[in-house]
A and B are shown apart, each in its own frame.
Chain A
Amino acid sequence: MKDIIKITEDIISLEDTVNLVKDPKAGAISTFSGTTRDNFEDKEVKTLSYEAYIPMAEKSVQSLITEARQKWEDLIHIAIIHKIGDCPVGETSVVIAVSSAHRRQGLDAVSWLIDELKVKVPVWKKEIYVGEDSKTGADGGQVWKANNTQP
């Protein structure tokens, strides 16, 4: 059983991540892929970037995986990859892939893992907005986002 954890500046490939968790004993590979939106309320997002406390992020993702393995015994390999640095609109920011003997536990584990990741893992997203003034080309400000709850 492999645990694959990466916090990376590289572009994330869903297909490559799925390949990492393939296994002859797996009857299912369940995935979640998060991508960056182009809007927040009425503002247009020009670009986004992610920052992480990398060693703690890796450690807290490992704790989530360990907890998931206790909750669902059917899981085989688990890969969680999060992008940091610039992440243009529409690009993949996070991928979770879980192989399991049967689909139900894999699907449940993926859903739980992304919910927990968004609350607990020390990663931050900054949105930089398109400015109103097209002449100066000044951007429309930037905001560090916050997910809904704290750990």
Chain B
Amino acid sequence: MTQKFTVLYFAAAKDASKAESDSFEWKEGITSQVLTQLLLDRHPTISTVLKSSMFAVNMEYMDQDSNWTVSPGDEVAIIPPVSGG
């Protein structure tokens, strides 16, 4: 059975992808760079918003510079610049 992970889109990312969530097949070594490419392959229209967005994995912001990879079953969210308050 293939292992998956989920991607959630919010606000401008949701508008650009026209999707609220996607399921991706998991593989070894999905760094933020690899993840970015996977997202662009599926939704070329999110290129602009992705540049200003952060990733959250399982509801924690990921440091852009640290080495992290996606694990099977992870919930990855694309977080465009926030504007609450």
> B-contacting residues of A (Cβ < 8 Å)?
34, 50-53, 55-57, 59-60, 82, 93-94, 114, 117-126, 144-147, 150-151
> How many angstroms between the C-alpha atoms of A59 and B77 in the bound complex?
14
When distances are taken between beta carbons in the complex, the residues of chain B under 8 Å from A120 are: 61, 82
Task: Jot down 22 A-B pairs with beta carbons below 8 A, ordered by A.
Answer: A51-B14, A52-B84, A53-B8, A56-B56, A59-B59, A82-B84, A93-B85, A117-B84, A117-B85, A122-B56, A122-B79, A122-B82, A122-B84, A123-B82, A124-B10, A124-B80, A124-B82, A126-B11, A144-B11, A145-B83, A147-B81, A151-B82
> A-contacting residues of B (Cβ < 8 Å)?
8, 10-12, 14-15, 52, 54, 56, 59, 61, 77, 79-85
Instruction: Identify the closest chain A residue to B85 (Cβ).
Output: A118
Contacting residue for A125 out of B8, B79, B83, CB 8 A = B83
What distance in Å separates the Cβ of B10 from its nearest Cβ neighbour in chain A? 6
Instruction: Identify the closest chain A residue to B78 (Cβ).
Output: A53
Contacting residue for A122 out of B10, B14, B52, B85, CB 8 A = B10
